[in-house]
Structure formats: structure tokens, C-alpha cells
Amino acid sequence: MKKFKCIVFGIFLVCTFILPVSYCNAEETTTTTEANNSKVYDLQQDAFKYYQVEHKGALGIPVSYSCTESEAGDIRKYTVEPNYSESIDGNKVEILISQVNVTGESDNFDSVLKDNKYIKNIKLDKLDNNTAKVDIETSGKLNVKINPVKRRYSSLGDNKYEFKTFIDVTFEEKVKDNSNIIIIDPGHGGSELGATDNFTYEKQLNLDISKRVKENLEKAGYRIYITRDNDSNVGLLDRTDPANLLNADLFFCIHNNSLPLDVNMQSVYMFRGTTVLYNSTAPKPGREFATILMREVSSTIKTNTYPLQDRPNLAVLSSAWCPAVLMETTVECDDGDAKMMMHRLNSQKVADASLRAVNKYFIK
Ligand SMILES: [Zn+2]
């Protein structure tokens, strides 16, 4: 009997390491890896970006810089340090940027200024290829801080590299607001359906849970930015840029899992339930929150659990500089999990458990 138990346990271990136990987001792993080969491909880095939460706004001025590996030394450690000078006079902010290419254009300033609480006007003057001036008119007296965001780079071939990053301009009201900033990221959306087993569109389920998590956390006093609040496509780095530009305290991505079509029912049964993904190589790994979250959610909705997944190559986990997790709430190809999540009551239970987990994480 003991021998039999050992064999069963051995099979379980083999399955654990061989099966891709987070399948619904597999497409994301092919797009970008920071830890694997330090490449991040994403064209959405060439636009001015603006994000806002209670008492704080953040403008990202996109910059790029090209160099050879010999110029950069250790390419993985190289950081773009744009030269810039700032002058702040009342509600006028002038930033002169040199030695890098400001890649963004003024064509999306209308969307930057829409519903913008802190910026009344913005102007871009490209003085030459490597020098630009950004003039910002703020609405009222604000604390304005300017910092470069950590680098991202991609290979241009021929031993040439391009670094893309932002100069981050934050605007904070003079009121002191120490409440934590959390980015909620509902997985998939728009043409990206996610898991589609058992008559479910994962993108819809993720959004339903995420909106409830947002409402719960806002009521509890956290400052929340949600990466989508409708059925729209969101670029991979558009998910983590708000975390980096707003200097968020937590990035919380919400998914429901699937498994490859050729996996047998026994495996589906084994991998039903809840797990949480994190990145052990991140500057601030999310493992601690992942542990609390998995326990809280699985014990609330009574799901099976399987071990936390260390996934350093996953785009959203490798490009956020704050603790980041991706929750696979349930597995939609399992009949039991799928049936349970058809009841919106259980989405609410997941949201309530998420609030308890966040509280436990921040209130130590
Ligand atoms: Zn997913």
C-alpha cells in the first residue's frame, strides 16, 4: 500500500512539472521576456501615456536610446539615464530632455487631456533628433516630481540595442494621501477571449470578478486603477505601465485557467481549482501576496489548490516593478469549477476573499 502511495505521488509530481498548469495566458509568454533574454517587444511604448488615481496623476514621456553592446557594458544591467532639466514655476512645468529620442508625438494629447484632473495643457517641441522640450500647464498647485522609469530594451540586430522607457512626471495634490495604490488587471478582453471551455468566455468572467474586487478595495480606502472596465483589448505593457508610472504598491492580474485540449479528464480533475503566479526574479517578488491570496480565495470558494507558480517569463509579471501576481481563480475546462463560476455569487465571494488577502498583506 505504501509503495502504491509512493507511485501515485510520483505520478503527481511528474504531472506537476510537465503540464503547463497555467494555459489560458500562454500567448503572453511568447510576446516578451525580461528574465529570459531581456527582450520586450511592444510598439505601444512610443506614445505619451497618462494614468490617474485619487489625489495622483502620472504622465509618461516615452524616450528611446540606441547603442551597441560594447557601449552599454553588461546589457542586462544597463539603464537609460536621460539627461533632463526641469523648471517648475507655479502651474508651469518645463522639462528639457536631451541625449535621448523622445519617441511620442503630440497626436494623442487630446486623449491625455481628457478627464485629466491635473494637466490643463501640454506642448511638445522637438528641437532636434535628441533634444525635446515638454511644457505642461497644471491645474492648481501640485507636488510635481520627475523621474526616469527603469529601462526596457530590445535587440535591433548587428549587436545594436534599443532602450525604451519613460520619463515619469507625477502630480500629487498637497493633501497627504498614504493609501496604497493597486492596479487591477482583468485578463484578456476584446478579441482575446481567454479560456472558452464549458460555454464560458474567460474575458467576461475575469472582468466581472475584477470589477467586484475594485469596488471592494475602493470602499476599503485603497486607490485603484483598473486596466480595462469594458470588453476591450489591452496591450501587454499597457497593463503594467500604470503600475510603473503611478509607482503602485501592488499589481493584481485576474484570470481563470484552461488546459490544453489533449489533456485527459484525469489531469483536468487534478488541476482544477486555484493557483497564483508570481515572479521570483522581480525586484520586489509577489510571492508573499500570492501565498495569502491563494489561501484566502481557495478556502472561501472551496476550490482545490495546486502549488504557486514561479513564472519569471510572463510578460505582466516581468515588466511590473512592484510586487505582481496573476491569479488563476478556477479552471474553466473542469465542469465543477465552470459550473460554480456561472453563479455570480461566487465572483463576489472571490472579490471578498481578495479584499481580505489585500488587507492581510498590507496591514502587518
Ligand atoms: Zn487567462
pLDDT in tens, 294-343: 999 999 999 999 889 999 888 889 888 899 999 999 999 999 999 999 99
CATH number for the region 55-172 comes to: 2.60.40
- Contact call for residues 288 and 323 (beta carbons, < 8 A): yes
Ligand 1 centroid to residue 108 C-alpha, Å = 30
Check residue 236 and give its pLDDT: 85
pLDDT band at 78 (very low <50, low <70, confident <90, very high): low
Ligand 1 centroid to residue 194 C-alpha, Å = 5
Ligand 1 centroid to residue 356 C-alpha, Å = 23
| Residue 95, pLDDT above cutoff 80 | yes
Q: Which CATH number fits domain 22-33+179-362: 3.30.413.10, 3.40.630.40, 3.30.9.10, 3.40.50.300?
A: 3.40.630.40
- Count Cβ atoms within 10 A of the Cβ of residue 8 and give its class: 0-12 exposed, 13-18 middle, 19 or more buried: exposed
Check residue 79 and give its pLDDT: 67
Ligand 1 centroid to residue 146 C-alpha, Å = 35
- Contact call for residues 271 and 306 (beta carbons, < 8 A): yes
Ligand 1 centroid to residue 297 C-alpha, Å = 17
- Least-confidence region, from 32-41, 108-117, 142-151: 32-41
Ligand 1 centroid to residue 292 C-alpha, Å = 21
Q: Within 10 A of 66 (CB to CB), how many other CB atoms are there?
A: 13
Q: Where are the alpha helices (DSSP H) in 19-106?
A: 26-31, 69-72
pTM: 0.87
Ligand 1 centroid to residue 31 C-alpha, Å = 15
Check residue 183 and give its pLDDT: 98
Check residue 209 and give its pLDDT: 98
Q: Within 10 A of 106 (CB to CB), how many other CB atoms are there?
A: 14
Pairing of strands 223-226, 181-186: parallel
User: For the chain, where do the domains classified as CATH 2.60.40 start and end?
Assistant: 55-172
- Contact call for residues 290 and 326 (beta carbons, < 8 A): no
Ligand 1 centroid to residue 232 C-alpha, Å = 14
Cα distance between the two ends of the chain: 44
Q: CA angle, 322 as apex, 362 and 332 as ends, to 5°?
A: 85
User: For the chain, where do the domains classified as CATH 3.40.630.40 start and end?
Assistant: 22-33+179-362
